[in-house]
Structure 1
């Protein structure tokens, strides 16, 4: 999907495409309530809006919210845009589908320290789980009965940990999509770090992207 992107806003890549493909497989209609957490350019929100669903999109970045606003207007799709920290702007609401492409790239620095500037879209602490763990705690509370959570992440950020956390939160969770791809510029620049951490083998320059699907059961 071609979208306008402002400087400092995450460029839709293979993870975005994989998540969009899973959103399109969900049964959405005009009665469906959809949330896109960390919307960036609005690519995932637009994919959901094409089904006629009522879509809300959230991002911490002012530039991202403005970019998503422009992309949704250019395509004449109605999306409610909110700026804020993860689930905060929609606390207390319920959704039939929550989709998210969060930061998940392991980064050097103290634990609990988010990225800055453009890196806010991918830096996720030493183990890549700074935002993923929050999503696993907070997003299940936003799901309506039989609601679905879709999370895309790299295998370098602990897929088993995501599955375990979502199951503990009461969701039925499984990996529903996978894609191997070569490292992009950010991952390539950190390959040495990943080798030191034991996340990849020497000379390995590929990652597996996965989408984890969690369902709130009755």
Structure 2
């Protein structure tokens, strides 16, 4: 595929990353570690929502899960299908918005690394690379929708693992998931240096009170939400 480069994934294999598809970074690694701690029995139904290049989908498929990967961009769908084929792993890959392509289905585990970066102006058009990270002025354009819909997409005992930045608000995510009837907690945290996007928006983020004057690192969190009944 044009524009494809090879890289090592989190499990030591080689995985192509297609041009303009969100490449695995610190948030993907943090979420992958959380995924590995979850009991995923053979045949479990797993959804990777916002799959990007398919890193999490492949990690779940390697454990014998029945994996469905969803992304709203056609590039990500093509990249994940290619990566699954090269890894010889069965992954169902669907194009669409959040839970839309799997409406009515229930999963044992949902993992998601959605766009969550606060951005001035309107959300980017789907053909722009920034669609992989920009999420409205508060960074919650997709997070709030996930919080509202997660409960109905989980089987009893099912778990959602969601990663995002503290810049988009940890408390609202916890509260939103709790309101939907899920038991929630933060399981993982890490601080990472600002990348190019946050560096370029430093002044705007400070004006909005989201960053201190001397702040140079971003906190990432993984939130675990379980449907207990």
- Paired with 2:125 and 2:54, the residues of 1 have a C-alpha distance of 20
- Residue by residue, what CA displacement relative to the aligned partner does 1:142-181 show, whole Å, maximum 9, x if unpaired? 0000100000000000000000000000000000000111
After the TM superposition, which residues 73-88 of structure 1 pair with which residues of structure 2 at under 5 Å, given as runs? 73-88=85-100
After the TM superposition, which residues 99-114 of structure 1 pair with which residues of structure 2 at under 5 Å, given as runs? 99-110=111-122, 113-114=123-124
- Give the match for residue 46 of structure 2: 34
| Structure 1 unmatched runs, 5+ | none
- Paired with 1:44 and 1:188, the residues of 2 have a C-alpha distance of 27
| Structure 2 unmatched runs, 5+ | 1-8
Aligned pairs, how many?
A: 216
- State yes or no: 1:17 paired with 2:17: no
- Give the match for residue 192 of structure 1: 203
User: What SS class does the counterpart of residue 147 from structure 1 fall into?
Assistant: strand
User: What SS class does the counterpart of residue 53 from structure 2 fall into?
Assistant: coil
Per-residue deviation, 1:131 = 0.5
Equivalent in 177, 180, 187 of residue 169 of structure 1: 180
- Paired with 1:109 and 1:27, the residues of 2 have a C-alpha distance of 41
Asked if 2 retains the 8 angstrom alpha-carbon contact of 1:171 and 1:217, the reply is: yes
User: What SS class does the counterpart of residue 146 from structure 1 fall into?
Assistant: strand
Asked if 2 retains the 8 angstrom alpha-carbon contact of 1:115 and 1:124, the reply is: no
TM-score under structure 2 normalisation? Answer: 0.92
* Superposition CA RMSD, Å: 1.0
- Paired with 2:54 and 2:125, the residues of 1 have a C-alpha distance of 20
- The 1:114–1:139 alpha-carbon spacing in structure 2 relative to 1, beyond 3 Å, is farther
Equivalent in 54, 58, 61 of residue 66 of structure 2: 54
- Residue by residue, what CA displacement relative to the aligned partner does 1:43-91 show, whole Å, maximum 9, x if unpaired? 0101111110110000000000000011111111110010011110000
Per-residue deviation, 1:115 = 5.1
- The 1:64–1:154 alpha-carbon spacing in structure 2 relative to 1, beyond 3 Å, is same
- Paired with 1:114 and 1:134, the residues of 2 have a C-alpha distance of 17
- State yes or no: 1:148 paired with 2:159: yes
- Paired with 2:52 and 2:15, the residues of 1 have a C-alpha distance of 11
User: What SS class does the counterpart of residue 64 from structure 2 fall into?
Assistant: coil
